[in-house]
Amino acid sequence: MSMHASRERVRHAVYLVDPGPLGAPLIMFLERLTGMSTAECVEMVRRIPSLIFVCDDPQEANELVARLRELKALAVVRPTDRPLKEGSAPVDAPRASGQRLFDALMTLLGLVQIGIGIFWWMEGRLLAGAAGVLLGLVVAAYFTYRFPRD
């Protein structure tokens, strides 16, 4: 068997390596392409890199990659005899401890601002007091909500 004949039989796998910002259109495209359910396509998008299709023709595989690029997703073509390890991409790292400290300090500053707003209100500066309390509540609520729970 010649080298040329064996090369013709190589199949080409298309792997999704970055789903991009357009989640819903990408999932709908994957549903039409693969015939899988929505839940299966969502899992495919979460497990990066993931095998999404196998083509016999390299041109067909490259056209599929171009279509995914139109959806702002990134895909690569690999011969099926050299697959990518699926789901091996690193998961987003948790926020650094410096971020936790920042969130805690901002929550504390929001609480201090509430106290200052109450003080201004009691001094008769009603508008400044109301604005100070409102600002303090918003800041304290936002950074308390954002504070990591782990």
Find all residues with CB under 8 Å of 54, minimum gap 6, and list them. 11, 12, 13, 14, 80
Q: Model confidence over 122-142: pLDDT tens digits? A: 999 999 999 999 999 999 999
pLDDT at 148 over 80: no
Q: Tell me: cis bond preceding 25? Omega within 30 of 0 counts.
A: no
**Most confident region among 14-23, 57-66, 95-104, 111-120 by mean pLDDT:** 111-120
pTM: 0.52
Q: Model confidence over 6-60: pLDDT tens digits? A: 455 778 888 888 888 777 888 888 888 888 888 888 888 888 888 888 888 888 8
Task: Give the phi and the psi of residue 149 in degrees, each rounded to 5.
Answer: -100, 10
Indicate the CATH number of 8-79 among 3.10.450.50, 3.40.50.460, 3.40.50.720, 3.30.1390.10: 3.30.1390.10
